[in-house]
């Protein structure tokens, strides 16, 4: 904890903040290397950095991954792609892929900033092709097919029509055919093999016209299904940030985030008393309660309050009552007063409790919690090893 009299700007910022989110960039880049070792040697790998790098900060995450050798980044929206282009600059060897593709009328923005769209509908393909006919820009793209998730991508019928159309991708440069696995985090689910076989068949058909196009099927969890799923391009996201890609097994990833929140007030109730909105919890006579500076505006789901807990040193403390917008109360009756003094903090995510543990308590998934992390935290970035010299 920084001294209140500290003059360093970063220390003063920590003093002002109600909670601190620490992002370990060395752990992030080690997770990149762990995943690289998992994929087929001939399989390239990019990083999914949509939603502000899953809430952890686009610029520092991209710079760390770039230094580790990542040459392809996936975002969801055009605005995210434009922000990323501002970070990586004009590097010709680094690709930015926009998963949702171009909205009507935005094709020129993609071309001007060398953003590569994923084309998922016949309309997008026709619009991208029409734009290509008006200029000499290199019209690279990925084509997405639906193999069983029924979310984004050409249906089997639409794909067959595209392949039968002599003008289907005329004037375009299809870098890859891609799809997305619906149940990769459930290894035994029958849909995994069904999707793989459908994708392999469609890719073989695609290669009849576009022999150089790559195949891309796997996300983080898909990498762990085995090399038969890897094809040519892997697209991990959550695993890079420490989320367990194999929920039924031990996590092969290193934790990347730590979330600490400051205790604002400690009180002891003299008689049984309700706690928080709705008086859903009654603290027993003599209970010691700590109210902490973190709430649902910071990404702690209200559903977490019913079963959530955190830590002060080695002491496990339970949430008491409903989570408020900015505050959460904990029962700290088991914690000595010496650990609750001015500047004391609790660990919501840390060495004793991972993001996956927190998600399980809240009845959700780690991806949702990461993406929900608010911007009010003071963000402290632990640097990647000095030997990794960023090219950005």
Q: Residue 382: beta bridge partners? A: 24
List residues bridging with 328 in a β-sheet.
292
Contact 257, 69 (CB under 8 A): no
With CA atoms as reference, report the closest residue to 355 among 312, 301, 316, 302: 301
Pick the catalytic residue: 50, 63, 262, 288? Answer: 50
Tokens of residue 238, six digits: 């959550």
Calculate the dihedral angle through the C-alpha atoms of 324, 328, 333, 338, rounding to the nearest 10 degrees.
-140
Contact 236, 219 (CB under 8 A): yes
Which tokens belong to 192?
């995994």
Contacts of 134 (CB under 8 A, 6+ apart): none
Where residue 89 falls (left for φ over 0; alpha for ψ -120 to 50; beta otherwise) is: left
Cβ 52 vs Cβ 376: under 8 Å: no
Considering the candidates 36, 63, 241, 277, report the single residue annotated as catalytic. Answer: 277
Tokens 């790998």 belong to: 45
Say if CB 98 and CB 110 are below 8 A apart: yes
Tokens describing residue 59: 């610029």
Q: Which residues pair with 144 in a beta bridge?
A: 178
Q: How many CB atoms lie within 10 A of CB 239?
A: 24
Is 277 marked active-site? yes
Catalytic residues, which ones?
Answer: 50, 277
């Amino acid at each position: 904890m920084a001294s209140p009299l500290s003059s360093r700007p970063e220390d003063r910022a920590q003093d002002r903040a109600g909670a601190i989110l620490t992002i370990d960039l060395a752990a992030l880049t080690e997770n990149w290397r762990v995943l690289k070792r998992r994929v087929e040697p001939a399989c390239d790998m990019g990083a999914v950095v949509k939603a502000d790098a899953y809430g952890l900060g686009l610029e520092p995450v991209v710079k760390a991954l770039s230094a580790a050798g990542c040459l392809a980044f996936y975002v969801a929206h055009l605005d995210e792609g434009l922000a990323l282009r501002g970070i990586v600059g004009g590097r010709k060897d680094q690709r930015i892929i926009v998963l949702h593709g171009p909205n009507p009328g935005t094709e020129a923005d993609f071309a001007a900033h060398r953003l590569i769209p994923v084309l998922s509908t016949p309309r997008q393909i026709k619009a991208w092709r029409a734009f290509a006919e008006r200029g000499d820009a290199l019209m690279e793209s990925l084509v997405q097919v639906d193999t069983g998730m029924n979310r984004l991508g050409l249906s089997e019928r639409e794909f067959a029509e595209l392949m039968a159309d002599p003008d289907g991708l005329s004037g375009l440069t299809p870098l890859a055919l891609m799809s997305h696995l619906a149940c990769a985090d459930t290894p035994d689910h029958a849909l995994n093999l069904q999707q793989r076989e459908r994708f392999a068949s469609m890719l073989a058909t695609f290669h009849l016209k576009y022999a150089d196009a790559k195949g891309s099927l796997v996300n983080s969890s898909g990498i762990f299904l085995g090399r038969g799923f890897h094809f040519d391009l892997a697209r991990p996201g959550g695993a890079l940030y420490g989320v367990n890609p194999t929920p039924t097994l031990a996590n092969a990833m290193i934790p990347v985030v730590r979330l600490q929140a400051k205790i604002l007030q400690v009180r002891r109730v003299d008689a049984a008393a309700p706690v928080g909105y709705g008086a859903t919890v009654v603290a027993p006579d003599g209970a010691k309660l700590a109210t902490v500076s973190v709430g649902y505006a910071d990404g702690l789901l209200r559903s977490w309050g019913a079963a959530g807990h955190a830590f002060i040193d080695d002491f496990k403390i339970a949430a008491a009552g409903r989570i408020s917008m900015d505050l959460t109360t904990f029962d700290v009756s088991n914690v000595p007063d010496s650990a609750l003094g001015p500047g004391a903090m609790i660990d919501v995510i840390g060495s004793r409790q991972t993001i996956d543990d927190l998600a399980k308590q809240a009845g959700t998934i780690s991806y949702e919690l990461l993406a929900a992390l608010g911007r009010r935290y003071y963000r402290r970035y632990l640097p990647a090893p000095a030997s990794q010299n960023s090219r950005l």
